[in-house]
Amino acid sequence: MTTQEGYLQRSPHPSSLYDVLDLILDKGLVIDLYVRVSLVGIELLTIDARIVIASVDTYLRFAEAVNRLDLNETGGKDLPEFIEDLGQGGGRGKTKGALDGAKESIKDVFSGDDDDEEKAPARRRSRSRAKDDEE
Amino acid sequence: MSAGPTEGVARTATYVYGVVRASETPRIDAAGVGRQAPVRTVTQGELTAIVSDVDAGFVEAGREDLERHMAILEQAALSATVVPMRFGTVMPDDGAVAEELLGVRAADLDELLSGLDGRVELSLSGTYEERIFGEVVAEEPEVAALRERVRGHDENATYYDRIRLGELVANAMAAKRRRDTDDVLAKLRPLADDVRVGDVAHERSVLSASFLVHRDRLPEFDRAAEEVAAQNRTRIRFRYAGPLPPYDFVGGGKAGPWG
């Protein structure tokens, strides 16, 4: 349930799983010895999702991003398309680079996929390439 | 899950979502985590815990449990000031909740509730739009020059130049991120009682911040957040969630106040 009012994308609560994890995992009051339930593997993936920005992989992606810019048009999107994107929240559909790759690797855990972390970076790369062809 | 017939009776434990003042005990109509038992409350003195029964062996949770935990706390936060517990807090039975949480920790809980009184959390995160790269090229002559050198050339031949180019872009983005974060915080911090700025989640993130805001100031905070978003509408996509239980303001992290 996401609404658009002015320029903020609003939702009563975090709209994507990534945001849910970001918001409530490792938060809240702890009484020692009494936190016994665990989301096995999830914490690990959350850390994995926090991409190290100073990496060759990121540099190459950034270089690609500035190279594909059409400076006359200054990239960017028109508002209607922007709003349409927002409506998709954290869902599938149009994917955008690294964050979505990370989200999906988290989703896979929840849906019980036998995915391992090793696959996530490869998927991110292929996604940023796919994005290229899209425009 | 596995009904583990321990002499025919499923053993039960008590899952704790959060604590409110007994005078504000909310009515929550929801199914809890795990076996989806109805949500109920345990009251001791001035304090009430929001709980539900789970199987005693409930140790591995999934996405749905996480969402239930969150939804139940949100319902409670509609009418009460809530101290949210860490996800996955299970105590042996109601007696333990009454004694070891609400009893022994009464003074600490009271202090936390007083500090949070009437306040909720708002979460704001921002991500740069693709066109931020246009800004970087326009503002950084070195980036523009290197871009001209690399564009249209064989990827392998320009490998190291592209890495250098990307590094320059990353540095420029980091500087931008600091400026934009400072700008957003300068506008919103005065309206909040407390702020937590989280780690940057990915390479185009601008910021991820949580604000503790009194309900009375929500409309004002809302307008300020809207203004920030409007000012940056072409370059930053902001996501705004709340009002939420104050997850970020009860001393979470690796070691809680009693951890």
pLDDT digits 0-9 by tens, A107-121: 333 443 333 333 333
Same domain, B63 and B133: no
pLDDT of residue B252: 52
Contact A26 B254 (CB under 8 A): yes
Residues 6 or more apart in contact with residue B53 via CB below 8 angstroms? B12, B13, B14, B15, B32, B35, B37
Selection from A60, A67, A71, A62 nearest residue B150 by Cα: A67
Edge-to-edge order in the sheet of strand A8-11: A3-5, A8-11, B236-244, B119-128, B205-214, B194-197
Whether the predicted pLDDT of B233 surpasses 80:
yes
Same domain, B28 and B93: yes
Which is more confident, B184 or B66? B184
Whether the predicted pLDDT of B173 surpasses 80:
yes
Range of the domain at A32: 3-134
- Lowest mean pLDDT segment, chosen from A113-122, B102-111, B175-184, B186-195: A113-122
CA distances to A27, A91, A95, A99, B71 from A103, rounded to whole Å, are: 19, 9, 10, 6, 21
pLDDT of residue A3: 61
Q: Take residue B232 and report the two structure tokens written for it.
A: 């940056």
What's the alpha-carbon Rg for chain A, to the nearest Å? Answer: 17
Same domain, B26 and B147: no
ipTM of the complex: 0.74
Q: Is residue B4 part of a domain?
A: no
In the predicted model, what is the mean pLDDT of residues B200-220?
Answer: 90
| Domain end point (choices B94, B117, B140) | B117
Same domain, B124 and B199: yes
The domain that contains B175 carries what CATH number?
3.30.70.100
Same domain, B225 and B237: yes
A29 CA to chain B: closest CA distance, Å?
A: 4
Contact A36 B90 (CB under 8 A): yes
First to last CA, chain B: 30
pLDDT band at residue B177, thresholds of 50, 70 and 90? Answer: very high
Contact B130 A76 (CB under 8 A): yes
User: Cβ contacts (< 8 Å) between A11 and chain B: which residues?
Assistant: 239-241
Task: Give the relative orientation of helices A119-134 and A56-67 as an angle to the nearest 10 degrees.
Answer: 0
pLDDT of residue B43: 97
Helix (H) or strand (E) holding B149: helix B141-150
Range of the domain at B64: 12-117
Contact B91 A34 (CB under 8 A): yes
Same domain, B146 and B224: yes
In this structure, how many other beta carbons lie within 10 angstroms of the beta carbon of residue B52?
Answer: 23
| Domain end point (choices B117, B141, B175) | B117
pLDDT of residue B6: 47
Q: Take residue B37 and report the two structure tokens written for it.
A: 């038992």
Looking at the structure of chain B, the number of domains it has is 2
Q: In whole angstroms, what is the distance from residue B1 CA to residue B157 CA?
A: 57
In the predicted model, what is the mean pLDDT of residues B192-202?
Answer: 86
pLDDT of residue B207: 92
pLDDT of residue B4: 46
pLDDT of residue A38: 64
| Domain end point (choices B75, B99, B117) | B117
In the predicted model, what is the mean pLDDT of residues B160-182?
Answer: 95
Same domain, B101 and B162: no
Q: Is residue B3 part of a domain?
A: no
Q: Average pLDDT of chain B?
A: 90
Whether the predicted pLDDT of A5 surpasses 90:
no
pLDDT tens track for A6-47: 788 888 777 777 777 777 777 888 887 676 776 655 554 555
Whether the predicted pLDDT of B12 surpasses 70:
yes
DSSP collapsed to 3 states, B154-170: CCCCCHHHHHHHHHHHH
Pick the residue of B19, B65, B86, B228 with the most A CBs within 10 A to test the interface with A by mutation: B86
pLDDT of residue A33: 67
Q: Is residue B193 part of a domain?
A: yes
pLDDT of residue A84: 40
Q: Tell whether A83 lies on the interface with B, counting CB pairs under 8 A.
A: no
Residues 6 or more apart in contact with residue A59 via CB below 8 angstroms? B162, B163, B164, B165, B166, B167, B169, B170
pLDDT tens track for B113-159: 999 999 999 999 999 999 899 999 999 999 999 999 998 888 888 99
Beta bridge partners of B51: B16, B40
pTM of the model: 0.75
Q: Average pLDDT of chain A?
A: 56
Largest CA distance in chain A: 60
Same domain, B104 and B186: no
Whether the predicted pLDDT of A86 surpasses 50:
no
- Lowest mean pLDDT segment, chosen from A2-11, B38-47, B78-87, B187-196: A2-11
Selection from B240, B243, B176 nearest residue B208 by Cα: B240
Q: Take residue B88 and report the two structure tokens written for it.
A: 């996955």
Pairing of strands B90-91, B47-55: unpaired
User: Under a CB-based contact definition with an 8 Å cutoff, are residues A41 and A109 in contact?
Assistant: yes
pLDDT tens track for A67-85: 888 766 544 444 444 334 4
In the predicted model, what is the mean pLDDT of residues B79-106?
Answer: 93
| CA–CA–CA angle B66, A30, B3 (5° rounding) | 50
pLDDT of residue B201: 67
